[in-house]
């Protein structure tokens, strides 16, 4: 009987600890931020954006599919749209798909870099309700490929800079406006710009590229809009699993055909996901947004010391975005065996795409997969791979500067770091800056986020106007 009492006392103590920690897990009150008045020319913003959308700057890995004239058309437009940027800053062309403007500030000591890309992904015209490259405006919404990804921020940076220069503004520090025209095909534009910085010993104190946005209903239980700043990104990796055999006739198969051996390896890898790993961006996100979550979820986030295994299990079972935030993921995407149904394949292979978590490396990941294959005959090769980016700092001025400009533009937003799951050109900046931030200054609904690389991409003109105002604020504080 005393054992029952001891158990009950321990249970009550355990629950008391959980509740006590939950009660103390309260959000910081949102600091009131004054909305600095920014004048913007709404008509010009719309006109310029329409002109940019009308340039069909679609990039393809197969260069023969690209229409170079469309890129030239866009580049020729820029001096007309942004004459003050061209009059004040020095333009350097490092590749034929990149533009680097150097806008001299009062000091070269702590330069900032504002990034965007002006190429877009192809469209499937049949699936669009309106033409993708005409710049049609209906009910205050501008239609066009690139409206969000990322001609919107490309325009935002240039429009803000042009407007401020026209007013005689000079930034405190040098600013570089760095644009690539081949981001969507992982081109050489951004790496060439980073190399240029490296050769000159220039270490940017602040880099801002596409990434998170102002979003709602993404974190369970949080009602406020959240401005998510990517402070790191996962590393992409393609792996090929190959099995070569003697082949033979399918009428006399071995107990396990090459396809069967590969299938077993695939199954074993899926059964043994990479370990659950809470990295700093996610720990910070859980801490900031978890405090604003519902009571039930706050119990979990306030007590990760004991709920970690439960969270791990939920993530494993659910997969998707939540799971991708806490571990290296493996997605099997390709497979090939024989070309005829009655021939055992002499050469069979399976392809997987991985997204490596901070702390993982392409080498370690490949070795783990090789081990999990459980069959020495399977060859495991990396087709392409890049280690995850370093994690940028959030404890000093550049992050605060970004948070302030965000709060001054979206006054009710809660700013939080997060880990970017997709790739951006900013990953190349890891070696030269501790302050690389991935944030697209736009409030985007779930539907709008779904249009990125999808059909019917469009953006309210009011969203663009705020994007320009945000860039004016950030430039003023750089």
**Footprint on this chain of Zn ion (rule: CB under 5 A):** 149
Alpha-carbon distance 134 to 142, whole Å? 10
Compute the least distance from the CB of residue 149 to Zn ion, in Å. 4
C-beta closer to Zn ion: residue 38 or 184: 184
Compute the least distance from the CB of residue 288 to Zn ion, in Å. 27
C-beta closer to Zn ion: residue 38 or 149: 149
With beta carbons less than 8 A apart as the criterion, state whether 428 and 194 touch: yes
Count of alpha carbons within 13 Å of 137, Cβ hemisphere only?
13
Alpha-carbon Rg for the chain in angstroms:
25
Alpha-carbon distance 381 to 354, whole Å? 13
C-beta closer to Zn ion: residue 368 or 453: 453
C-beta closer to Zn ion: residue 149 or 162: 149
C-beta closer to Zn ion: residue 452 or 469: 452
Compute the least distance from the CB of residue 345 to Zn ion, in Å. 36
With beta carbons less than 8 A apart as the criterion, state whether 104 and 174 touch: yes
Residue 415 is inside which H or E element, if any? strand 414-420
C-beta closer to Zn ion: residue 174 or 210: 210
Helix, strand or coil, per DSSP, at residue 420: strand
Compute the least distance from the CB of residue 453 to Zn ion, in Å. 6
C-beta closer to Zn ion: residue 149 or 312: 149
Helix ranges, 327-460 (H): 362-373, 397-409, 446-450
Helix ranges, 319-346 (H): 320-326
Degrees to nearest 5, angle at CA 57 with 52 and 62? 175
C-beta closer to Zn ion: residue 121 or 335: 121
Compute the least distance from the CB of residue 146 to Zn ion, in Å. 9
Alpha-carbon distance 213 to 78, whole Å? 26
Q: What is each CA distance from 396 to 174, 402, 419, in whole angstroms? A: 19, 11, 18
Sign of the torsion formed by the C-alpha atoms of 240, 245, 250 and 254: negative
Within 8 A by CB and 6+ apart from 450, the residues are none
Compute the least distance from the CB of residue 415 to Zn ion, in Å. 23
Q: What is each CA distance from 391 to 209, 297, 327, 424, in whole angstroms? A: 15, 26, 15, 14
Compute the least distance from the CB of residue 411 to Zn ion, in Å. 29
With beta carbons less than 8 A apart as the criterion, state whether 298 and 290 touch: yes
Tokens read off for 295: 């009571």
C-beta closer to Zn ion: residue 358 or 440: 440
With beta carbons less than 8 A apart as the criterion, state whether 282 and 326 touch: yes
DSSP per position, 77-116: HHHHH-HHHHHHSEEE-SSTTEEEEEE--SEEEEEEEEEE
Alpha-carbon distance 437 to 173, whole Å? 18
Compute the least distance from the CB of residue 316 to Zn ion, in Å. 29
Strand spans (E) along 120-262:
137-138, 141-143, 173-180, 206-215, 226-233, 235-244, 248-249
C-beta closer to Zn ion: residue 48 or 149: 149
Compute the least distance from the CB of residue 173 to Zn ion, in Å. 29
C-beta closer to Zn ion: residue 315 or 419: 419
C-beta closer to Zn ion: residue 123 or 475: 123
Residue with the shortest CB distance to Zn ion: 149
Alpha-carbon distance 272 to 313, whole Å? 12
Compute the least distance from the CB of residue 160 to Zn ion, in Å. 21
């Amino acid at each position: 009987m005393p054992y029952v009492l001891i158990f009950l006392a321990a249970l009550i103590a355990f629950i008391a600890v959980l509740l006590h920690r939950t009660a103390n897990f309260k959000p910081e009150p949102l600091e009131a931020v004054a909305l600095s008045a920014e004048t913007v020319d709404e008509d010009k913003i719309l006109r310029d954006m329409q002109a940019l959308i009308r340039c069909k700057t679609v990039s393809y890995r197969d260069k023969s599919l690209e229409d170079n004239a469309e890129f030239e058309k866009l580049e020729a437009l820029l001096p007309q749209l942004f004459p003050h940027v061209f009059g004040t800053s020095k333009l350097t062309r490092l590749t034929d798909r990149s533009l680097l403007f150097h806008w001299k500030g009062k000091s070269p000591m702590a330069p900032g870099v504002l990034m965007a890309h002006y190429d877009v992904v192809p469209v499937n015209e049949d699936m669009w309700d309106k033409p993708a490259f005409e710049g049609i405006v209906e009910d205050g919404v501008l239609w066009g490929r690139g409206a969000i990804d990322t001609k919107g921020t490309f325009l935002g940076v240039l429009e803000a800079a042009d407007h401020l220069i026209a007013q005689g503004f000079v930034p405190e520090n040098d600013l570089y406006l760095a644009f690539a025209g081949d981001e969507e095909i992982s081109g050489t534009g951004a790496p060439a710009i980073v190399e240029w910085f490296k050769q000159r010993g220039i270490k940017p104190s602040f880099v801002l590229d596409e990434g998170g946005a102002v979003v709602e209903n993404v974190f369970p239980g949080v009602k406020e809009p959240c401005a998510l700043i990517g402070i790191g990104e996962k590393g992409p990796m393609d792996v090929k699993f190959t099995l070569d055999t003697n082949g033979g006739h399918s009428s006399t198969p071995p107990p396990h055909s090459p396809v069967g051996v590969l299938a077993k390896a695939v199954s074993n890898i899926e059964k043994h996901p990479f370990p659950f790993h809470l990295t700093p961006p996610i720990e910070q996100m859980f801490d900031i947004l978890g405090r604003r979550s519902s009571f039930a979820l706050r119990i979990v986030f306030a007590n990760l010391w004991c709920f970690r295994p439960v969270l791990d299990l939920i993530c494993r079972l659910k997969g998707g975005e939540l799971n991708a935030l806490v571990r290296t993921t493996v997605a099997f995407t390709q497979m090939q065996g024989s070309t005829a149904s009655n021939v055992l394949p002499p050469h069979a292979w399976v392809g997987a795409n991985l997204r490596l978590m901070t702390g993982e490396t392409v080498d370690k990941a490949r070795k783990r997969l090789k081990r999990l294959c459980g069959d020495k005959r399977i060859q495991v090769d990396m087709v392409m791979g890049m280690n995850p980016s370093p994690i940028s700092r959030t404890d000093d001025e550049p992050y605060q500067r970004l948070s302030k400009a965000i709060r001054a533009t979206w006054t009710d937003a809660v700013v939080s770091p997060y880990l970017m799951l997709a790739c951006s050109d900013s990953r190349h900046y890891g070696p030269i800056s501790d302050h690389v931030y991935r944030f697209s200054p736009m409030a985007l609904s779930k539907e709008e986020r779904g249009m990125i690389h999808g059909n019917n991409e469009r953006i309210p003109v009011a969203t663009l106007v705020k994007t320009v105002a945000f860039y004016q604020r950030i430039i003023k504080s750089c």
